[in-house]
Chain A
Amino acid sequence: MGAILQVDQVYKYFGGVKANENISMTVTQGSITGLIGPNGSGKTTLFNSIVGTHPIDKGSIKFEDKEVSALPVPAVAKLGLLRTFQQTRIYGKLNCIDNMRISAKPSRDNLFSVFSAIPNELNDKAEHLLSFVGLYQKRKLRAGDLSFGQQKLLELAMALMNEPKMLLLDEPTAGINPTLINGIINRLIKVNEEFGITLLVIEHNMRVIMSLAQHIFCLAHGQLIANGKPEQIKKDQRVIDAYLGVQ
């Protein structure tokens, strides 16, 4: 399988803060790849660079061999590269079904489709995906009234509604109760296997990322310090030092 995402020598500075320095990584098509690192190591900055929230200072980011580092956020999303947020972002005053309906990719997208009707078939798909994440019963409630964990699940369902090729997940299990975490892991694996969506996951919960990812990249102080299979990462002295501090 070829690479779906290629990050090549990316630099991103915020003034004097070196948020990302010479980051190169490759995500294989159809894989689940992990991105770990202590707080403030530049993981979310890298996500923001990839989806175009801010321009990068140097380097190149290719999605399906197309340079995306200069594209604005909606353009990157339209190519099929979608992200979820660490703090959930949902449309709080809309109900879950509407959250889903607006997340679907429109069949036509131009000036004349601004007033196009939303096809009824979407309701079915929305309901199916909501039941996939276990929110079917709450579909008519306002999304803002859901609990934080449920909002995370809703955000995942919204991303799936868009039928992306690749999904960047920023801490999908943060703030979710431990019993539900297994459910999320299973769903993410299902998303990867059945929907064929490549996943790049930021995660602090080592148990989750070790059981989920096939390949893991580790950042510290804005630099890539290690990458490899989960077993290798677990034993890597540099990773252990970064998390626990060098004695």
Chain B
Amino acid sequence: MNQKAILYLALLAFGIAVPFMFPAYKLQISIMWILVVLSLTWDVQGGQMGYNTFGNIMFFGLGMYICSSFQIGIFFPLAEWTASGGEKTFIHTPTQFFQGFFIGIIFAGIIPALVAAIIGYGILGLRGHYFAICTLGLAIAAGELAGGIELVGAGQGMTSPPWPKNIGDTELRSEFFYYICFVLMISTFLFLRWAYTTRFGLVLNAIRDNEDKAEAMGINTMRYKISGWVVSAFFVGIAGGLMGNMIGYIEPVETAFAGRTFGVFMVVMAILGGKGTLWGPVIGAIAFHIFKEGFWTFFLGWQYVALGALIVIVVIFFPEGIMGWLREKYPDRFGEVIDEEDRKAQVELK
């Protein structure tokens, strides 16, 4: 067995064992896996494709609303639920809860993916700063829009269905969500790990390095850009759906379309770990989460100062992130070597 397989198995074992090893930190580590998903999927655009987006948070909020709306709407009248704080009047049976959750999560992935395809078709023709600003506007608009829709509670927000009372305590609830988050993180990681080995990955990198050249070589870049955004939106949407259930309460600007928190975090995490690498966003998300929780716990009140300082330090001293810094330092470990041994069929230089 090689080193890589051992590493993967060790991480897998750690992930599975967390609820038993650190029962007090289950929720924190669930959120960490969500952050890894956000960071990995942001990197599809920001790192691999070179399109800095501030709009991925849009799919997070969308997934959150859609998941809960489906969970509630297929069993009870949604409008009454949101108007009355419906969890008091309508109670999901365990079967209803899990059925609803399953259906909700599926749509929380599919609908944002469709939205990404449609919006992407419209705006992925923009490049560079124009794309970034456009996505930023869309994300803010999405929050404002959601805050205007009565059906989902408008500015007051809505509650997601509470865990059914008659099947175990809150411990079981957090274990359940922990493992769903873990599975989502693993699926996202494995999917992207595979996708980056296919034509998709190479074309994304080609677009990042020189989009005009890619087009001149006959590549339909739009198709790949949209596919990339659809993939991101799918996983981010599911992450949003899960997050809504874990928090239990959806507020349009603070939790769902949370551009100031998660929307910024996903960018910082990917840059901290190393844009455009597979492991960079994972390492970045974990490091960031530990840093963030440390500050939130011990230096409450200064946490945003610390966060700002972290961003400045990363941008000035590690613009390529942890992985990028390692690659600069040890290029040969990353396969960048001059091959002294010549090919036998070397064509004579005349």
A→B interface (CB under 8 Å): 51, 72-74, 77-78, 82-83, 85, 89-95, 98, 101-103, 105-106, 109, 111, 113-118, 127-128, 131-132, 134, 136-142, 144-145, 158, 162, 182-183, 186
Contact = CB atoms under 8 A, between A and B. Distances in A.
30 contacts: A74-B216, A74-B218, A78-B218, A82-B218, A89-B212, A90-B209, A91-B205, A93-B208, A93-B209, A94-B202, A94-B206, A94-B209, A95-B335, A98-B205, A114-B199, A114-B227, A116-B198, A116-B199, A118-B197, A131-B347, A132-B347, A134-B349, A137-B338, A137-B339, A138-B339, A139-B339, A140-B335, A140-B339, A141-B337, A186-B350
B217 A118 contact: no
Contacts of B210: 89-92
Contacts of B349: 134, 183
A156 to B, nearest CB: 13
B294 to A, nearest CB: 33
Interface string B186-222: 0000000001011110110110111011111111110
B339 A89 contact: no
Contacts of B333: none
A98 B215 CA distance: 16
B336 interface: yes
A9 to B, nearest CB: 25
B218 A105 contact: yes
B218 A77 contact: yes
Contact of B343 (A116, A127, A158): A127
Interface of B: 195, 197-200, 202-203, 205-206, 208-210, 212-221, 223-224, 227, 276, 335-340, 342-343, 345-347, 349-350
Contacts of B337: 140-141
Nearest to B210: A89
A105 B335 CA distance: 26
A157 to B, nearest CB: 11
A98 B202 contact: yes
Contacts of B205: 91, 93-94, 98, 102
Given A94-B209, A137-B338, A183-B350, A114 B224 contact: yes
Contacts of B345: 128, 131
Contacts of B203: 102
Given A131-B346, A131-B347, A74 B336 contact: no
A134 B347 contact: yes
B339 A136 contact: yes
A74 B219 contact: yes
A141 B346 CA distance: 18
Contacts of A113: 199
A118 B336 CA distance: 21
Contacts of B223: 111, 114
B217 A162 contact: yes
Contact of B202 (A82, A118, A127, A138): A118
A99 B343 CA distance: 19
B279 to A, nearest CB: 16
Closest 6 CB pairs between A and B? A77-B218, A91-B209, A89-B213, A102-B202, A78-B218, A73-B215
Interface centre among B203, B221, B223 (most CB of A within 10 A): B223
Contacts of A89: 210, 212-213, 216
Contacts of B227: 111, 114-115
